[in-house]
Every structure is written in structure tokens, then in C-alpha cells.
Structure 1
């Protein structure tokens, strides 16, 4: 449900915010976010502590990053599950999503996938987009032709939508494929790191009991277990 903060019969010509409520989540929608950003595809990158999702606009030259969203790993896993569920519901209601054919000149040749550096050399990354918008929750909706993504911060005293993005249905499926592949790489790297971590030596008899968690400086938050940076890693791209 979407509701305006201004009562009916008393319009306000100035900027205003909205509130959305769905599945026990209520979030403020600031005026500068409410109209949303249209995207024709996305690139998923892995940072040291987070995932970066760059939503692209390739309908003009130079092609550019229209929106950048920063997500912790735990939220990416929830995002994947929610998007899978939404795609299943979409196809039950509207039928299968048909992917458009990719022109031969745009298909990557075997063994010649674009590196992240090569890709971003061709993209315009505006300064006001460069730092991105952090989100720790995602709300997904769809119509007959598009999917909408509200990226939300659930901070005290109330939740707010940090970024709203629209994707055509075929590109929503490509986004799911890119997210799934990138998150699988992240999990593989974590497993590899855990298997190669040397065992912690037992405490000396005079050191006293070891209490779990006493070495922590604060609460453990999603994404604080660094997967380690891979500067040469290829990006996962879903583009229309």
C-alpha cells in the first residue's frame, strides 16, 4: 500500500515523502527517490566486505551507471531468494519470461570475457553515483512488464527507501543469474579460506577460561567477515 503523508483535499506543491507498507515492513520514500531509476541491466561486483550492484543505462552514449547499491552478503542471499520467489509468481500469472536474442557482435568470445577494468573504461560513472547507496533490505514488486526494487535502510528511528530501480522482466531474470553466480563465488571463497585457516592454539593453563565472544569489540553485523579482495576478478553482468 502506498499512502501520501498529506491529507486528501490539502495538496502541497512542495517536495513530499511517501510511505510504503508490505509484509510487516514500513518504509519512508523520500521525494527524490520516489520516481525511481530505470535500468537496462546490472553488473554485480564483490568488494572486501560487501557486494556492489551497478544498475546500467545503455540506451545512450556514453553508457552509464544509473544507480549503485551496496549490499552486505547476508542481504544478497535474502535478495536472491526473494527474487526467485517473485519470478516464480510472475511466470505463474503471466507466463514464461522470454529472453531477447543477443546480437552476435555483443556475445563474448570463448576465453575473452571482459574484465571489470575494461568494462568500466567504457562506462560513465557520475560523481553523485560513485559512492552508492547502502541498503540492508529489499522490497520487490512487479507488473506485467517490469520489476521494481526498493532498496531500504532499516535504521532507527524508522526505515527509508535509499534507492528505487525499475528493470524489464527479462533483465530481472538476468540480474538473478548474476547475483546467484557472484554469491556462489563468495561462498566458495569463504569455504576455501576456512579450510586453509590454521587452528587456534589452546590457551595456556594460567590464562584463565576462554569465554566465546570476549575478543569481539562489538556485535557481529552482516558482511563483517571479509571474503578478501580479488582485484582481477571478472564482473558478473546482466545487461539488456
Structure 2
């Protein structure tokens, strides 16, 4: 029985560069019949352009698992820290306001 437990374990390695993470304040999700594509973007106030910082591709089954895992973690977070505010309900503009400029 102990051997079965060792065979079911997965050793996951997290490199230093990935461990730093990438900040994102916008995600755009698209899909086909065989995959979901999630583009993570960082929008800066007053900037007319934004770059995709990371793109994740996954099967519909994995996307559904991600949805479930996110919902479970949001529920746990809200149980400890209170309800997360819905940004859309607050009427916060996507552009963040402020001056615009060109680079």
C-alpha cells in the first residue's frame, strides 16, 4: 500500500524565474472546440497599449477543473477575509482614467 502512495505522488519543480510570477490585471479568454486560450495582460494607467504577458492553453476539461478550483479557493478566501468586491458592480472603468500619452 505504501508503494502505491509513492507511485501516485507528483514531483513539481518551480524554477526561480517562474516563481517570481507575472502580474496581470486583465485576462482574455477564447476557445475552440478543442482548447481554451487564456491571455494574461497587464494594463498600465494612461497607456494606450498593453502586452500579453503570458498565454495558457488547456483542454476544455482542464479549463472546467480550473474553474472549479478557482471557485473553491475564492470561497475559502472569502470565508477568511470577507467577500471579494465585484469590480464591474463598482463601475470602475477599464482604462483606469488619468492622462493618456504616446511612447
Which residue, out of 77, 81, 93, partners 2:68?
Answer: 81
1:43 corresponds to 2:32: no
Offset at residue 95 of structure 1 (A) = 0.6
1:28 corresponds to 2:17: no
Pick 1 or 2: higher relative contact order, CA cutoff 8 A, min separation 6. 1
Higher helix share: 2
2:55 is aligned to 68
What stretches of structure 1 of length at least 5 have no aligned partner? 1-23, 107-240
Offset at residue 103 of structure 1 (A) = 4.0
How has the CA–CA distance of structure 1 residues 85 and 49 changed in structure 2, closer, same or farther, with 3 Å as cutoff? Answer: same
Deviating runs (4+, > 2 A) in structure 1?
A: 99-106
C-alpha RMSD of the superposition:
2.1
**Alignment deviations for residues 157-184 of structure 1 (CA, whole Å, 9 cap, x no partner):** xxxxxxxxxxxxxxxxxxxxxxxxxxxx
How has the CA–CA distance of structure 1 residues 80 and 102 changed in structure 2, closer, same or farther, with 3 Å as cutoff? Answer: same
What's the TM-score once normalised by structure 1's chain length? 0.32
2:3 is aligned to none
Map 1:78-157; keep pairs closer than 5 Å: 78-100=65-87, 101-103=90-92
What stretches of structure 2 of length at least 5 have no aligned partner? 1-8, 96-103
Partner of 2:72: helix, strand, or coil?
A: helix
Number of aligned residue pairs: give it: 83
Question: Highest CA radius of gyration, 1 or 2?
Answer: 1
